[in-house]
Amino acid sequence: MTISKLRQQLVAGETTPAAILNNLAGEISARDGQTGAYLSYNLEAALAEAANADLSLPLGGIPIAIKDNINVLGQPCTCGSKFLENFISPYDATVIRKLRAAGAIPFGRMNQDEFAMGSSTENSALQITRNPHDPARIPGGSSGGSAAAVADFTAIASLGSDTGGSIRQPASHCGVVGLKPSYGRVSRYGLVAFASSLDQIGPLTQTVEDAALILQAIAGGDPLDSTCLDAPVPDYLSGLNDGVKGLKLGIPKEYFGEGIDPGVRKNVEAAIQALAAQGAEIVPISLPHTEHAVATYYVIAPAEASSNLSRFDGIRYGHRAANPSDILDLYQKSREQGFGPEVKRRIILGTYVLSSGYYDAYYTRAQKVRTLIRRDFETAFAQVDAILSPVAPSPARKIGGSSNDPLHEYLSDIFTLAANLAGIPGISIPCGTTDFDGGKNLPVGLQILAPHLGEAKLLRIAKAAEIKS
Ligand code: GLN
């Protein structure tokens, strides 16, 4: 069920918010034992909210599942980490406040890679999440629970966060829609920070229309997040069906080179042809600094993470080690015990690139290359309205397949990282399925990138490219 269909039924009196929630709870008990998308949910609390739901509001009565790094008052917020396993949020994130103001009901805490570091959800310290299309495979990550639940029909829609692809890549692997808004479009107040110059919150949904509905509710300025822009929020729904006739769509040659699975290439090229058949002009372009995106991101993101995660000291939040000999020992033991291996790797990497003597060689240089990557997009968007590419080089791999090889895992982020480095919006929409590495009919995603604050056009192109099932 989509948000838009359920809204019609709710308004027509054919269903109730409580019936929707009870239904979801039934689906969760039927299937989530296998999928493992939910870390927790509180049916009673949601039903209490449902009793007061205002059905005249745009998302009135619609439950939305929330990634476990977005604070919801009174609910757990583990970030997939032992460190925060017993943490209960003392406040609502701005996106939650806005969802509630639009009538929605936050329901469910979704599994993720620890502190959103990863692309498979295997870095969760709490549980495994499986891909509903093939339980032997990863759902992608880091918003793996948010994507898997929508694909498994145990959630109608969800929120995720995207620092380098964490909404788009799991959406691609699970065959759902995932939208990363422009930097500054959506407030991050109440999102547990990973890399503050890259993080964005966005929706994962069954349809492009549903993604537009949620973006409409959560976008807009916020005095509590100084990076959030006060720019007016356009109507994302009114032009959704305007089509792509006359639009110029860029195909970056660097995104179609070696290393792409042939099934991914075939499906993405078919989606491009379908847009051409609807009247879009397909324009070959170049984003020459693409090859440096992985190296740049994996300096800047860990640098910011090492700073952001210093707040987890065993004193203010979460885990506190027992029997410390002194304060330094308390910090060290709490962090040693609370953080998993990937988080430690990132903190060590980030601390190294920020340390005196290495700062200029790594961090400053990465910032310079980041500017070059952003300029690549500015040059491209002087010629084209949007850019089309794959989301990931291959469909979902098997669980356990890459866990000992972080570098291979980092390289698979190649097509999604640049949008975060440049601050532009990106969407992943399903564009067919393919067989891969023994798996059958695995989803493939098409990525569409647009200029900063170009979400309306992005959604309109996505709507035209959406495969009607
Ligand atoms: N896979 C990337 C990383 O591990 C991106 C994660 C994200 O977007 N949160 O950092």
Please tell me the distance between residue 16's alpha carbon and the centre of ligand 1 in angstroms.
Answer: 37
CA distance 264 to 270: 10
Catalogue the E-assigned strands of 41-190: 63-67, 105-110, 157-162, 177-180
Position 270 pLDDT exceeds 50? yes
pLDDT at 408: 83
Closest residue (by CA) to atom 10 of ligand 1? Answer: 117
Closest residue (by CA) to atom 5 of ligand 1? Answer: 164
Q: Could you identify the atom of ligand 1 that is nearest to the CA of residue 143?
A: 9
SS3 assignment, position 332: helix
Percent of the chain residues past pLDDT 90, beyond the cut: 96
Q: Which of 121, 142, 402 to mutate to test the pocket of ligand 1 (most atoms within 8 A of CB)?
A: 142
Please tell me the distance between residue 57's alpha carbon and the centre of ligand 1 in angstroms.
Answer: 34
- The CATH classification of domain 3-218, taken from the options 3.40.50.700, 3.40.640.10, 3.90.1300.10, 3.40.50.10160: 3.90.1300.10
pLDDT at 467: 74
Please tell me the distance between residue 117's alpha carbon and the centre of ligand 1 in angstroms.
Answer: 5
67 is catalytic: yes
Segment 96-107 mean pLDDT: 98
Residue 51: pLDDT band with limits 50, 70, 90: very high
Query: What is the token pair recorded at 112?
Result: 């993720």
pLDDT at 307: 98
Please tell me the distance between residue 410's alpha carbon and the centre of ligand 1 in angstroms.
Answer: 8
Position 469 pLDDT exceeds 50? no
Q: Which of 69, 111, 113 to mutate to test the pocket of ligand 1 (most atoms within 8 A of CB)?
A: 113
pLDDT at 308: 98
Catalytic residue among 120, 166, 172, 412: 166
Give how far Cα 401 sits from Cα of 129, 136, 411, 425, Å.
14, 10, 14, 30
Give how far Cα 387 sits from Cα of 82, 298, 316, 343, 379, Å.
39, 23, 44, 32, 12
Please tell me the distance between residue 113's alpha carbon and the centre of ligand 1 in angstroms.
Answer: 9
Q: Could you identify the atom of ligand 1 that is nearest to the CA of residue 166?
A: 8
For the sheet with 439-449, list strands across it: 38-40, 105-110, 63-67, 157-162, 200-205, 177-180, 426-436, 439-449, 386-390, 248-252, 281-285
Position 288 pLDDT exceeds 50? yes
Ligand 1 binding pocket, CB closer than 6 Å:
116-119, 142, 162-166, 194, 301, 413
- Which residue, 383, 362, 396, 198, is CA-closest to 292? 362
Instruction: Give Cα 357 to chain centroid, integer Å.
Output: 35
pLDDT at 402: 73
Segment 413-433 mean pLDDT: 98
Considering the chain, what is the average pLDDT of its residues? 97
Residue 249: pLDDT band with limits 50, 70, 90: very high
pLDDT at 437: 95
Q: Which of 113, 123, 159, 163 to mutate to test the pocket of ligand 1 (most atoms within 8 A of CB)?
A: 163
Segment 84-92 mean pLDDT: 97
Position 264: which residue type? V
Residue count (the chain): 469
Q: Could you identify the atom of ligand 1 that is nearest to the CA of residue 117?
A: 4
Tell me if 121 sits within 8 A of 141, measured CB to CB.
yes
Q: Could you identify the atom of ligand 1 that is nearest to the CA of residue 409?
A: 1
Q: Could you identify the atom of ligand 1 that is nearest to the CA of residue 342?
A: 4
CA distance 305 to 351: 9
Please tell me the distance between residue 8's alpha carbon and the centre of ligand 1 in angstroms.
Answer: 36
Catalytic residue among 89, 142, 182, 412: 142
Task: Give the tens place of pLDDT for each residue, 337-393.
Answer: 999 999 999 999 999 999 999 999 999 999 999 999 999 999 999 999 999 999 999
Catalytic residue among 67, 82, 98, 333: 67
Position 258 pLDDT exceeds 90? no
Residue 222: pLDDT band with limits 50, 70, 90: very high
428 is catalytic: no
Q: Could you identify the atom of ligand 1 that is nearest to the CA of residue 420?
A: 8
pTM of structure: 0.98
Per domain, the residue ranges of the chain are 3-218
